[in-house]
Copies of this chain bind each other. A is one copy, B any other.
Amino acid sequence: MNKKSNEGLTVKKEDFSEWFSQVIEKAEIVDLRLGLKGFIVKRAWGTRIIEKMYQLYEEELQKNKHQPVIMPSLIPESNLKKESEHVEGFNPEVFWLESQKGEERLALRPTSETLFTPMFKLWIRSHRDLPMKIYQKGSVFRLDTKATRPLIREREFQWIEAHDAFGTKEEAEKQVQEDIETTEKVMHQKFGIPFLPLKRPIWDKFAGAEYTIGSDVIMPDGKLIQQPSTHLMGQKFSKAFNAKFVDEKGNEEYLWTTAYGPAISRILVSVISVHGDNKGLVIPSLISPIQIIIIPIYKKENKEKIIKYAQKILNKLEGYRVEIDDRDFNTPGRKFNEWELKGVPFRIEVGEEELKKESITFFIRDIRKREQILLRDLSKIKLYEKEYNKRIINNADKFLESRIKECKTIDEIKKSIKEGKIVKTSFCSIEKEGLNCAEKIEKETGAGIRGILANKKELPKGKCIICKKDAKEVVYIGKSY
């Protein structure tokens, strides 16, 4: 804990960009001082949150019958180049290794379709081997030459990639919906981050996919950030790698594949940005490395008995992640600030008075409220925890809802985008023929067509706002990270 980290924030959250820069360093999520463009150190507090997020994601994936594998971090050039759209899209972003004599040129994986598909080819013979659902966690590498931003746009980031293979398009499309549901169950219900699952316009899909659904999350500044995306790869990769199976009737068919990619370190951006406040982070209790921090308040003469009391309370809090902060050289006030900055959901303060009354002072991070609880009523904490998580989800939900604005003219769109809104409007098409209109909107407003709702059909009213042809879609428009 160096001095810098103990200082509080010097800006309010309204000044979002600066607030974000400060909070990720001061709350010890990251350290940017390695001086390596696009590569940062995730410090212990950040890493412990990331680990919890991984754990909840993996539990859900495994519940849905995904099995983990570990693939190499490197991809041979010939694999990467097998699917033409894919290589065209990713090639500029690839880190290549210096060649070894007599060996093939290798890339640091930017994504791993070209490793998973050849394994599908080996592991799947018949419909009995289907579906095959596998995933890996780890780092991927993208040579972003634009401005990199910590956690938001990194050259190396931590993610999960799930790759699934099926016998029919129908099953593959069902998987895409299951992926959206996984995002809902984990990112929304556990991390408290609501999202719009948007089927991207054709010109904005993953390189090599038939279509892509991105989960757009709104940031405090009104911009959107893409969180987990899921892709129907269709038979594009299976054809490129000649990955077939024998169906029930004995016919050889190409596999249908999907991919799902939650970037854990980028979802952390949303957790920080959506829930945080002027005092620092507010971490959902399921992913907080410490859920309850106990701060004993003592002087030299009563230290022993207060610490003993703190220990007694800790022992009563089974099932929670609890720690006692008994660092002598920090005042209670500094400790309060530090743990609020780090977003620990609950604080227990115990001193002479609490000891006398057999009670605790219980502080709730998001509403910054203190409650007195008697030791015999400690089970109340369960309820406080439930309310805490409900509150932060509700607040996030309300914020997203309040920012969606239905517009009927380009002027309305311009105005709403300026106000940091997400615009909902009727639009001709997210297929190729809509690109012209999309470009006009982008030129006029600085915002892009993000897509149409992927888990619910919304019916457009009337004409496309630009070309005045019959609208086929209701699209969402926003600025993005």
Residues of A whose CB lies within 8 Å of any CB of B are: 1-3, 31, 33-37, 39-44, 46-48, 50-51, 67-74, 76, 95-98, 100, 103-104, 106, 108, 115, 118-119, 122-125, 128-129, 134, 136, 138-139, 141, 143, 156, 158, 329
B72 x A39 contact (CB < 8 A): yes
A37 nearest CB across to chain B (Å): 6
Task: Name 5 A/B residue pairs within 8 A (Cβ), A-sorted.
Answer: A39-B74, A41-B69, A41-B72, A41-B115, A47-B68
Closest B residue to A121 using CB positions: B33
Name the B residues within 8 Å of A47 (CB-CB).
67-70, 136
A124–B2 alpha-carbon span in the complex (Å): 7
B43 x A103 contact (CB < 8 A): no
A227–B143 alpha-carbon span in the complex (Å): 35
- Known A41-B70, A122-B2; judge A34-B97 contact (CB<8 A): no
A95–B36 alpha-carbon span in the complex (Å): 18
Contact of A34 among B41, B72, B134 (CB under 8 A): B72
A156 x B72 contact (CB < 8 A): yes
A35–B128 alpha-carbon span in the complex (Å): 26
B103 x A97 contact (CB < 8 A): no
B125 x A2 contact (CB < 8 A): yes
- Known A51-B68, A68-B51, A97-B96; judge A73-B2 contact (CB<8 A): no
Name the B residues within 8 Å of A97 (CB-CB).
95-98, 108
B41 x A71 contact (CB < 8 A): yes
Name the B residues within 8 Å of A1 (CB-CB).
128-129
A1–B125 alpha-carbon span in the complex (Å): 9
Name the B residues within 8 Å of A42 (CB-CB).
69-71
A31–B31 alpha-carbon span in the complex (Å): 37
Contact of A125 among B3, B33, B104 (CB under 8 A): B3
Name the B residues within 8 Å of A128 (CB-CB).
1, 329
B36 x A76 contact (CB < 8 A): yes
- Known A138-B139, A156-B74; judge A2-B96 contact (CB<8 A): no
A35–B104 alpha-carbon span in the complex (Å): 11
Name the B residues within 8 Å of A118 (CB-CB).
34
Closest B residue to A5 using CB positions: B123
A335 nearest CB across to chain B (Å): 14
A95–B95 alpha-carbon span in the complex (Å): 12
A47–B42 alpha-carbon span in the complex (Å): 24
A50 x B70 contact (CB < 8 A): yes
A166–B164 alpha-carbon span in the complex (Å): 47
A156 x B37 contact (CB < 8 A): no
